[in-house]
Amino acid sequence: MSYVNEVYEMLQKKHPYEAEFLEAAKRILDSLTPIVDANEDLYRRNALLERFVEPERIVSFRVPWTDDQGKNHVNLGYRVQFNSAIGPYKGGLRFHPTVNQSILKFLGMEQILKNSLTGLPIGGGKGGADFDPHGRSDAEVMRFCQSFMTELYKYIGKDVDVPAGDIGVGGREVAYLYGQYKRITNLYEGVLTGKGLSFGGSLARPEATGYGLIYITEEMLRAAGEELKGKSVVVSGSGNVAQYAIQKAQERGALVLSCSDSDGFIYDPDGIKLDLLFEIKQKRRGRIREYAEKAPRSEYHAGEKPWSVKCDIALPCATQNEINGEDAKKLLKNGCTVVAEGANMPSDEEAIDAYLAAKILYMPAKAANAGGVAVSALEMSQNSERLSWSFEEVDSRLKDIMVNIYRNVSAASEKYAHKGNFVIGANVAGFEKVAAAMLAQGLV
C-alpha cells in the first residue's frame, strides 16, 4: 500500500465521523501522490504525512452570552491551530450554525497550503463558532464577540496566531473581537486582520480576495493567449469576494451576468449594476432579490444557483460544495471554459473531475482566493512597522503575489502532473515549502 493511502486509512480510523475533513484530506493527499512517491523514504522516516494531516493544537470552548431579551445562550467556539512550520497560524474565524470541528479542520488544512502559496511567512489555522450573527442586534453580536474573545485571547498573539474574518465575521465582528482582546491584554498589536482603517486595518483588504481572483484568472487567460475583455462571467455570492470580483472584472471589460445569496440568484443581461448591488448589500445588508425590484431587465430566480446561465467564465464566490457534478456539466454544456474559485472549496469532487476531464482552465480555491490572506499578511507587516501603505501600493503587491502564485502552480503542474492540472500544481507548490520547513525543524 502506498504511503498516501496508509495515512488516509489512518485518518479514517481516527476520525470516522469527520466527513468534511476526510473529504478534504483525501483530495489533498491524492494530489500530493507524485511528490510523496518521489520522496517516500525521506517522508516515511520523518513521519511527515502523519504530522501534516494532524493539527498541532485544537482549542474548543463554550461561549455563554445574553440576548437583548435577557435570555442566556451557550455556543461552541473553536480554534484549530494546524501548522506553524513557516510562520504564525493564520486563518479566518467563521460564525455560522454549521460550524463544527470537522469543517474547521478541513478549512485549516486547505489554509496551510493556501498561505504557503502566497510566499509570505504565515502558517495555517482556522476557527469560529456555531453562532449565527444574522438577525442579531449589534449589541447581541458585541456581547457574543466579547465572550468568544475572553477565552480565545489565551491562545493567540501577533507572533503566535493571527485570526481574520470569514463567513459571518466581517468588519463589525473583527472590531468587537479586537476591542475585547485589547481590553483584556492591554496590548495594541496586530493580533487580528481585517481591522478598520482607524485602528490598524489595511487599505484594499475588503477588495483583496475578489481582486486577486480576477488577477489570477487574467494570468490563466493570458497564458492561453486570451484576455478577460469581452468575456461573459457568471458569479455566485454577493459578499465582499463576489462584489469586488464583479467590480474588477467589469473594469477589465468583462460582462458579469449574475450574483446570488442563499435564497436565489439574479441574472442581469445588461451586466450587474455595482452601485445598486453595493447599496443593497453594503448599506442595508439586504437580500439579493431586491436587485430585481430596481433593475427592470433583470430576473430573480428563487431557490436556484446561477450555473445554468451561459457564460465563458464561472467564478463561484459563495460557499463550499456549491457546484456539484450536475452543475459542472451544465456549465460545460453552455460553453464555460474557465472556472476560478473565490469561495473555499466550492466545487465538489464530481465537479472537479468534470473540469479536469474537459481540460478547461480550472484554478482551485487555495490558489485563486489567496488574495485575501495575502493582504492580511501585508496588514500584519504594516502593523509591525507602524505604517499604513497606500491603496495603490497594497494593490500592486497583491497583483504581484497572485501572478507569482500562478507561475508557481503552473510550474509544479508541469513538473509533477501535466501542464494545466492546477489542482495538483497548487497542492504540490504549497506543500513543498511546508514539507521542507517541517523536515528542517525536526520531529515536532
Q: Give the pLDDT confidence score for residue 247 in this predicted structure.
A: 98
Which triple of cell numbers denotes residue 100? Answer: 463544527
Contact 191, 158 (CB under 8 A): yes
Whole-Å CA distances, 174 to 162, 201, 244, 271: 12, 10, 20, 32
Say which residue the cell 486582520 belongs to.
193
Distance CA 91, CA 377 (A): 10
Q: Give the pLDDT confidence score for residue 420 in this predicted structure.
A: 79
Which triple of cell numbers denotes residue 371? Answer: 488574495
**264-267: strand order across its sheet:** 258-261, 264-267, 299-302
Task: Write out the chain's pLDDT in tens, 444 residues.
Answer: 899 999 999 999 999 999 989 988 998 999 999 999 999 999 999 999 999 999 999 999 999 999 999 999 999 999 999 999 999 999 999 999 999 999 999 999 999 999 999 999 999 999 999 999 999 999 999 999 999 999 999 999 999 999 999 889 999 999 999 999 999 999 999 999 999 999 999 999 999 999 999 999 999 999 999 999 999 999 999 999 999 999 999 999 999 999 999 999 999 999 999 999 999 998 888 999 999 999 989 999 999 999 999 999 999 999 888 999 999 999 999 999 999 999 988 999 899 999 999 999 999 999 999 999 999 999 999 999 999 999 999 999 999 999 999 999 999 999 988 777 999 999 999 999 999 999 999 999
Q: Which residues contact 352 (CB under 8 A, 6 or more apart)?
A: 27, 328, 362, 364, 423
> What number of residues does the chain have?
444
CA geometry: angle at 160 spanning 155 and 166, to 5°? 75
- 431: nearest Cα among 6, 43, 14, 9: 43
Tally of CA atoms within 13 A in the half-sphere of 102 that contains its CB: 14
- Per-domain residue ranges for the chain? 3-187, 206-359
Q: Number of helices (H) and strands (E), helices first, in the chain? A: 17, 13
Centre a 10 Å sphere on the Cβ of residue 310 and count the other Cβ atoms it contains: 13
* pTM of the predicted structure, to 2 decimals: 0.92
Distance CA 92, CA 166 (A): 5
Distance CA 310, CA 332 (A): 9
- 30: nearest Cα among 431, 351, 325, 439: 431
Q: Which CATH class is domain 206-359?
A: alpha beta
Active site residue 126: yes
Burial class of residue 137 (count of CB atoms within 10 Å of its CB; 0-12, 13-18, 19+): exposed
Domain 206-359 in the same topology as domain 3-187: yes
Query: Hey, what amino acid is at 328?
Result: A
Query: 51 in helix, strand or coil?
Result: helix
Composition of the chain by helix, strand, coil, percent to 5: 50, 15, 30
Distance CA 196, CA 190 (A): 12
Beta bridge partners of 314: 234, 339
Q: Which CATH class is domain 3-187?
A: alpha beta
DSSP 291-339: HHHH-TT-EEEET--GGGS--SEEE--S-TT-B-HHHHHHHHHTT--EE
Q: Give the pLDDT confidence score for residue 419 in this predicted structure.
A: 76
Please tell me what DSSP assigns to residue 200: T
User: Of these residues, 90, 114, 126, 399, which one is catalytic?
Assistant: 126
